[in-house]
Amino acid sequence: MDSCSCKIDPVHSYIFPVDRLWQYGLLNSQFLCCVKQANLIMKSSILFIFSLVFSLLVSVPTLAQDQGLSQTVRGRVLDKQSQVSLPGVNVVVISGEQTLGAATDMDGYYSIPNVPVGRITLQASFVGYVPQTRSNLPLSTGKELVINFELQESVITTKEVEIKASRDKTETLNKMATTSARTFSIEESQRYAGARNDVSRMASNFAGVRGGNDAVNDIVIRGNSPVGLLWRLEGVDIPNPNHFGELGSTGGPVSILNNNVLSNSDFLTGAFPAEYHNALSGVFDLQMRSGNDQKHEFLGQVGFNGFEFGAEGPLSREKRSSYLINYRYSTISLVSQLGLEVGTGTAIPYYQDLTFKFNFPSRKYGNLSIFGLGGSSNIDFVASEDSEEESEEDDNLFTGDDVDVYVKSRQGVIGVKHTYLFNNSTYSKVSIAATGITNRNIVDSIGLENNQVFDFYRQNLTNSIVFASFLLNKKLSAKHNFRAGAFVQHFISSLQDSVFVTLRDDFQVLTDYEGSTQLISPYLQWQYRPTDNLTVNTGLNFSYLALSGATSLEPRLGVKWKLDASKSLSFAYGLHSQMLQLYNYFREVRQPDGTNIRPNEDLDFTKSHHLVVGYDWSFSPNMRLKAEAYYQRIFNAVVEETPSSFSSLNAGSFSGGFPDYLKNGGTGENYGVELTLERFLDRGYYFLTTTSLYQSTYEGSDGIEREGAFDSDYVFNILGGKEFQLQPGVTNKRYNKLILVDLRFTAAGGQRFTPVDVEASIREAETVFVEEEAFSERFKNYARADIRVAFRLEAAKFSQEFAFDVQNLTDRENPYTKRFNRSTGEVQTINQLGIFPLIQYRIEF
């Protein structure tokens, strides 16, 4: 069978692989051509933003008040297993030579006023519990620091033991995760060079992870496809949280997830606990912070990602209810509307997003929160209006000179979460949410000879989900903790797309589905801690897809053994599964008699075994060495019904679209070792070095083992930063000045690609690949250096930061794919981003 649903008369419009438009981001990643013209954009927008920033910075001395620079530290302390508030906990702030502290009240809250600003260490300790330390927390004048603790009860022993404070960086928020998991702070996504305030780009510094390409935030985890990633926010599975993102994918050029409203969260890369489902590669388990319940605070920020305004504060101080709201609008589109030239011609990316959370705690009725985020984006690329020179250059990462593309996308989540404490050992969490994503796109083809525009492709895809989850947690003792829960997702889909067939002078239907189905996933988990040094997490997940009747029973196991206070061994195993991107189940295939059938509605889950062994050594208070070895065996992958090299495990690459007739039966293997050497921020500097050596292979329905699209053999990252005090040793300062410098270097094996069949491409007037040689060739090795320099100024009532970030500092050409240029008749190498300067200004008050 052909790899697309129809062929078009090349006299009027060239043959185009329709699946690539929405399976591989060729529609909704059009924003990227604007990104590739970053230098032109910055010529005008930098001047505009810099003038605004300079006027604010020079006004600081007159705005600052002559008093010491201090701020309040507040938060809450809970039992980690039962979520019961802990009264009487000692919380101590260590800041320079001063030691300040407070004890928690009956509801577990504490407040420590008049703490000198700067880097502080915060420690919580309570009799019978393992103390916990948070080191080098940033305390600024513009915003109170809210730090919540969850302390773990010590297992009772018959002999005296020494209990040392645990560090937040070596522990995950999810107590059931024993290996291949890391808690990250939002400050890391704000200050890491090259992160662009994006948690996905920040995560590409971690072991086992690399970016899909420079222009979007897709991440490849241990050789898996980016679509194997699960996004979870406040316990709710959410769709692609990116502007210009598409249904079924996980990445995009600009994240809707605003790190100004996120809290510390977990990132998992394999063998995850039983409460995670429908994912093969990794999980972002994100938490939103609650707004300040005692003081109104505001945020203003402007940079390449957008103009932002945030506000938070109490709805009722007595009841500790609060609000948190953040709104952002595209910088490029706003500058364009002001009449300034931004260097992108008519292709202006328009996007905006809103994020909010309202929190209502109650002793009697539990804690209720209402949260949501939403984003809209659109951009038009009109290649028919390009000059001849622009057509011949054709260096855009995703579009060529042969189509006009009009892109619109909408994503949103709104939910309610309720946590109820039945007694001192039992609590429940219930989440109900509605999520949705819509892609409305138009593609017109351009004639080969007369540049005339013809109807070609129309798409209107909407997938809405009514989501519900329930969790019941029971702490029997310090040794035993049980958890049971379930996720229910009710998909309501409206999926239509069609392609114009010139010979019939009509549109041929590719997808036409209106209906619903369900994905149901109950689970059980048990944590057993026979001693303070040994933790065993077991679990069982069951997934059921109503559409095809597919089922999967998945055992999970994790063991962590602390050899001593600084060393630990860990082991984890899990069977995991994932359904195919929803629209592929409803693909229409035209029959000779003119009728359509859906041959793929009965597809099963793709499944994989994960096995991980790890060693963690904290050989000094601020230094950590971590090593992990893993093996992943994937089976039941989706492949073409007739023998070919196609596999769904390569989704996200530029190998072509999905065939018409699919079946389960493909396999894959990912295995490797990962090393992490990390110095936590202390005395003003930190560094993070990760090395990943891995192999990723797959088999399609032809039974031939090949390297996968995301097999790059190795990834090496080194990241570091230093804070410089401009007035060290000066007391009673009216304002505090710092310079922050962060550097990053990444090296990886070259991007794999499938060779282009030049003769066939000329004949068909489109890029035709030699599918029998899928991913057999590789570009030169990837390398990139980034730098970020920021100036921070703390005044008595507010703080400001001006940052300059340059990505790909050396302007290295990193190839990404090859494509046939029909204007020149030659195969062209398409590179990733060149040098990319960014600026940002931020004020908190």
Of 302, 460, 388, residue with least CA distance to 801: 302
* pLDDT tens per residue across span 473-490: 999 999 999 999 999 999
Distance CA 19, CA 2 (A): 12
For residues 23-40, give the mean pLDDT. Answer: 42
Which of these, 819, 816, 697, 699, lies nearest to 755 by C-alpha position?
Answer: 819
**Residue 116 contacts residue 97 (beta carbons within 8 Å):** no
Q: What angle do CA 283, 227, 182 make, to 5 degrees?
A: 20
State the sign of the Cα–Cα–Cα–Cα dihedral 160, 162, 165, 170: negative
CA 779 to chain centre: 26
pLDDT at position 50:
47
DSSP 615-654: EEEEEETTEEEEEEEEEEEEEEEEEESSS-S-BGGGBTBS
Which phi-psi region, left, alpha or beta, contains residue 176 (left: φ > 0; alpha: ψ -120 to 50)?
alpha
pLDDT at 170 over 70: no
Between these two residues, 591 and 160, which has the higher pLDDT value? 591
Q: Please give the structure tokens belonging to residue 169.
A: 């960086």
Q: Are 129 and 148 in contact (CB under 8 A)?
A: no
Alpha carbon 84 to its chain centroid, in Å, reads 31
- Asked if pLDDT for residue 678 goes beyond 80, the answer is yes
**% of the chain beyond a pLDDT of 90:** 61
Q: Which of 204-213, 347-356, 413-422, 755-764 has the lowest mean pLDDT?
A: 755-764
Q: What is the predicted pLDDT for the residue at 5?
A: 33
pLDDT, position 212: 82
Asked if 310 contacts 299 with a C-beta cutoff of 8 angstroms, the reply is yes
Q: What's residue 15's pLDDT?
A: 30
- pLDDT grade for 163, boundaries at 50, 70 and 90: very low
Residue 103: band (very low, low, confident or very high) from pLDDT cuts 50, 70, 90: very high
Residue type, 798: F
Q: What is the pLDDT of residue 42?
A: 43
Helix (H) or strand (E) run with residue 143 in it? none
Compute the distance between CA of residue 655 and CA of residue 767 in angstroms, rounded to an integer: 10
- Asked if the model's pLDDT at residue 12 lies above 70, the reply is no
Over residues 207-221, the pLDDT tens digits come to: 999 988 888 899 999
Is a pLDDT exceeding 80 seen at residue 27?
no
pLDDT for the residue 731: 64
Between 651 and 52, residue with greater pLDDT:
651
Q: Could you tell me the pLDDT band of residue 167, with boundaries at 50, 70 and 90?
A: low
Residue 25: HSE in the Cβ half-sphere, 13 Å Cα cutoff: 29
As a whole number of angstroms, the longest Cα–Cα distance in the chain is: 88
Strands (E), 451-505: 453-475, 480-501
What is the reported pLDDT for 573? 97
- Give the helix/strand (H/E) hosting 773: none
When mean pLDDT is compared across 31-45, 730-744, 774-788, the lowest value belongs to 31-45
Residue 250 · residue 600 · CB < 8 Å: no
Q: Is 223 left (phi over 0), alpha (psi -120 to 50) or beta?
A: left
pLDDT surpasses 80 at 400: no
**Model confidence, pTM:** 0.89
Token digits of residue 642: 């007739």
pLDDT tops 90 at residue 13: no
What value does the mean pLDDT take over residues 33-37? 45
Distance between CA 379 and CA 383 in Å, rounded?
A: 13
Instruction: Kindly state the tokens that stand for 108.
Output: 């577990």
The residue written with tokens 């970016």 in the block is 211
What are the residues whose beta carbons fall under 8 Å from the beta carbon of 574, sequence distance 6 or more?
270, 271, 272, 273, 554, 555, 556, 557, 609, 610
Beta-ladder partners of 520: 488, 544
Q: Which residues contact 150 (CB under 8 A, 6 or more apart)?
A: 77, 78, 79, 80, 83, 132, 173
Q: Report the chain's C-alpha Rg in angstroms.
A: 27
pLDDT at 160 over 70: no
Note the pLDDT of residue 448. 64
- Confirm if 708 and 672 have CB atoms less than 8 A apart: no
Q: How confident is the model at residue 156 (pLDDT cuts 50, 70, 90)?
A: low
The model's confidence at residue 820, banded by pLDDT at 50, 70 and 90, is: confident
Reduced DSSP (H G I as helix, E B as strand, rest coil) percent helix, strand, coil of the chain, to 5: 10, 55, 35
**Residue 97 has what pLDDT?**
63
Which of 243-252, 408-417, 466-475, 521-530 is predicted with the least confidence, judged by mean pLDDT? 243-252
**Given pLDDT bands bounded at 50, 70 and 90, which one contains residue 98?**
low
What local confidence, expressed as pLDDT, does residue 599 receive?
A: 94
Q: Are 775 and 754 in contact (CB under 8 A)?
A: yes
> Does the pLDDT value for residue 36 go beyond 80?
no
Average pLDDT over residues 497-510: 83
Q: Which of 234-243, 273-282, 727-736 has the lowest mean pLDDT?
A: 727-736
Q: Residue 11: is its pLDDT beyond 50? A: no
pLDDT at position 542 over 60: yes
Could you give the CA distance from residue 178 to residue 558 in angstroms, rounded to a whole number?
6
pLDDT-derived band at 810, boundaries 50, 70, 90: very high
Please answer whether residues 268 and 276 qualify as being in contact, where contact means their C-beta atoms are separated by less than 8 angstroms: yes
Per-residue confidence band for 730, with pLDDT thresholds at 50, 70 and 90:
low
For residue 534, the Cα-to-chain-centroid distance in whole angstroms is 32
593: three-class secondary structure by DSSP? coil
When mean pLDDT is compared across 8-22, 72-86, 153-167, 455-469, the lowest value belongs to 8-22
Cβ neighbour number for residue 318 with a 10 Å cutoff = 7
pLDDT digits (tens, 9 = 90+) for 598-617: 999 999 999 999 999 999 99
Produce one character per residue of 348-364: b if its CB has 16 or more CB atoms within 10 Å, e if not.
bbbbbbbbbbbbbbeee
Average pLDDT for residues 429-449, to the nearest whole number? 89
> Is the separation of the CB atoms in 27 and 443 below 8 Å?
yes
pLDDT band at residue 797 under the 50/70/90 scheme: confident
Summarize the confidence of residues 78-98 as an average pLDDT: 85
94-106: average pLDDT: 80
Name the band, by pLDDT with cuts 50, 70 and 90, for residue 402.
confident
- Tell me: pLDDT of 2 over 50: no
751-780 mean pLDDT: 89
The number of beta carbons lying within 10 Å of the beta carbon of residue 496 is 15
Helix (H, G, I), strand (E, B) or coil at 639: strand
Report pLDDT for 64: 36
User: Could you tell me the CA-to-CA distances from 559 to 483, 569, 573, 647, 826 in Å, in that order?
Assistant: 17, 8, 9, 34, 56
pLDDT above 90 for 807: yes
| pLDDT the model gives residue 729 | 66
794: which residues sit within 8 A by CB, 6+ positions away? 69, 117, 140, 141, 142, 735, 736, 737, 738
Return d(Cα 726, Cα 409) in angstroms, integer.
Answer: 46
Residue 38 phi/psi, 5-degree rounding, is -60, -35
Mean pLDDT of the chain: 85
Closest CA to 207 of 253, 251, 267, 273: 267
